[in-house]
Structures are given as structure tokens and as C-alpha cells.
Structure 1
Amino acid sequence: MTNIRYLSIDDISNYRTLLKRGIHEDLDVFAWKLQNDRCLAELNLQDLLSTNSNKSIVIGAFQDSVLIGAVTLIFNQSYSLAHKAVIENMCVMGENHESREYLAKQLMEYVFQICQKKQIEILMTSLISNNISGKVFFSNLNFELLAIEKFARKYEVGYVDEHWLIYYFNGEDMALFE
């Protein structure tokens, strides 16, 4: 049985290990911002996992006390932007494609529940353009293409493009998970 919950500072070691595995392509990654170890080093995991943060939540999926998936949900606290949230650094592991996709869908269901409670109306994410499985996954959850950002990120001398995806909550959202 999979247990999904908010991650805390107590999970920092397991979370770092999971993210490193995602960087080195041992996992299925969606909405991924961590292209190399330097990106991970720049990410302040302690702040991210702080229970005092009102800017973000990291959600983890556990199987027998082992962290097997995670996703970050980022909120904008500005008055005029508080109706939006962004998904980043979603990764899952599993024995096969079907089990990984099922786990990713469980994480997204949890994200949607949080968004409903927080009255989020718009959910966005971005994917590196060659992340075909990620684009298919989000498309199956009715995310739409918002824009293609050329040269979105620069790693050393190379650039990557990103596809920005958007989801508009409509009150019937939980039916996607039935």
C-alpha cells in the first residue's frame, strides 16, 4: 500500500537520494528542473521541507517506509496571483511503466486535493521539450500547452527548451482519477 504525505525536514536524506536518482535517470521524471548535481546543490532542501513554508509543499509517496516518488507544489503568495500554483520536480520509481504511471497519478490526485482546499484555480508546470512521456502524462490529465519557451534553461554551454502546460480547475477535476 502506498502512503502519500507531506515531506518534512526529517525526510531530507531520503528526498535528496530520490532527487539524485532522478538526475541520473534511474526514475521517471515529470516537470523536472534538476538536470545535474549542481542544480540539486543550489536547491535549498531545508527551506523546501520546512513546515513553516507557505510558499511550497513537497509531497512524498512511500512504499514500506521507502520514498518512491515526490512532487513539489509551489504557491504564489501575491494577492493577484494566489489563485495559481506550479508543479516542479516530480519523479517516481517502480518496477515497470504502468506502476510508475499509477504512482504519478496518485501523487497528482493528492496535488489536486490540495489545490481544491487552497482554492487554486490554475495549475502550471513546465517540461523539457524532449520529455515525451511527461507531456503525454499531463495531457492525459487534461493539461493544455500554454507556450514553448526557447532557451528556457542553460546548462554550461547548452540550452534546453521547455513546454509550459496549464490546467484550469473546473469543479469536476477529481473525476480524472476515478
Structure 2
Amino acid sequence: MPEIRVLNASDAPIYRELRLQALTHDPNAFLVDPDQYRQMPLETIEGQLSSEEDGKFTLGAFLDEKLVGMCTFIRESHPKIRHKGKVVAVYVAPEARGQGVARKLMETLIERVRSYGDVEQIQLGVSHTQVAAQKLYTRLGFEIFGIEKQAVKQNGEYLDEEWRVLKL
């Protein structure tokens, strides 16, 4: 079973490595270009991981002390929409798939967000090509509330994106 914990600035080097793997291995699942990310200074990544300000946090999943999975929650900042937040950058390394890592990451994220007491819904987007992720989100109770046609254009091809919500 994976160990799940909140990542911090000292995790920036291993986070960067896994994020680059994600962007390279599953480019259709992420908007960020691997070459752009590779140019990002480590200090920027440290800053992104250094604070849990305003309900933003990144979870890491570790197997045998190696970072093999991650996901980030970003709470909305505007007062009229602070009752919701988004899950982004969900990824599990290929060698760790099928071991419940993504489920444990998402269950931990949901539990943590519930503990805030005033977040009513968690939203996420998932590419129509990410079938395993769609199945997991359905099992966790996320419901589709919209399909964005041609949400992403990559190499001349369009990808649709499902938008899902979990009411807490």
C-alpha cells in the first residue's frame, strides 16, 4: 500500500522528475509542454510546493520510498466560488499502476478537502482518452456535468474533455 503525504519544497527535485515523466509519457492528459516545464527553475517548483496557502496542496504517493504518484488540489479564491475547488495534475507512474495508488491519492485528497468543512464540491477535467482515470473517478462518485468538445488541440488533433464533480 502506498504512503501518501503532502509534498513540500524539499520534494521539488523528485516532484519535477515525476512531473516530467508524466508530461512525456501521457502528453494527452496534460496541457503543459515537457520542454517548457524542463526550463522552469527548481526554485519555482519549490515555491509551488512550499505552502498550503488558501487550500492548495499537492499529495505524493510513495512506494518503497520512491515518489510514484501525485495529485494537486486548488481551491477557488473568489469568495463567491470558494465552496469549490479543482483537482489537477493527477499521475501515477506506469510501474505503479494497478496497485491502488491513484485511488489512495484521490481518497486522501477527498478526505483532506472534506476536513475543511466549507468546500462543497470538487471538480476535475479528464480527457476522453484517459479511460482508466474515468473509471476511477466514477467509482469515487464523480459525476459528469459536461463535455467540452475539442478542449485541447495537439499536433493537429482535438481531444474532448469530460468535466466531473463530486458533491461533498
For the aligned pair, the TM-score class normalised by the smaller chain equals 0.7 to 0.9
Gaps of 5+ in 1: 170-178
Name which of 95, 106, 109 aligns with 2:107.
109
Instruction: Read off the aligned partner of 1:63 and give its amino acid letter.
Output: L
Aligned to 2:120: 121
Percent identical pairs in the alignment equals: 25
Distance 1:74 1:65 in 2: 26
| Larger helix proportion of the pair | 2
> Where has structure 1 moved over 4 Å in runs of 4 or more?
41-44, 94-97
Distance 1:39 1:150 in 2: 26
* Matched pairs, number: 164
Instruction: Read off the aligned partner of 1:106 and give its amino acid letter.
Output: K
Distance 2:155 2:47 in 1: 26
- TM-score, L = length of structure 2: 0.84
Aligned to 2:64: 64
Decide whether aligned partners of structure 1 residues 127 and 105 sit closer, same or farther in structure 2, where only a CA change above 3 A counts. Answer: same
What displacement does 1:164 show?
A: 0.5
Instruction: Read off the aligned partner of 2:54 and give its amino acid letter.
Output: N
What displacement does 1:35 show?
A: 5.6
Decide whether aligned partners of structure 1 residues 4 and 84 sit closer, same or farther in structure 2, where only a CA change above 3 A counts. Answer: same
Instruction: Read off the aligned partner of 2:37 and give its amino acid letter.
Output: L
Distance 1:48 1:147 in 2: 29
| RMSD after superposition | 2.6
Gaps of 5+ in 2: none
Matches within 5 A, 1:14-93: 14-25=14-25, 32-34=29-31, 36-38=33-35, 40-41=37-38, 44-51=44-51, 53-54=53-54, 56-93=56-93
SS of the residue 2:15 aligns to? helix
Matches within 5 A, 1:97-176: 97-99=97-99, 102-119=100-117, 120-155=119-154, 157-169=156-168
Distance 1:96 1:55 in 2: 28
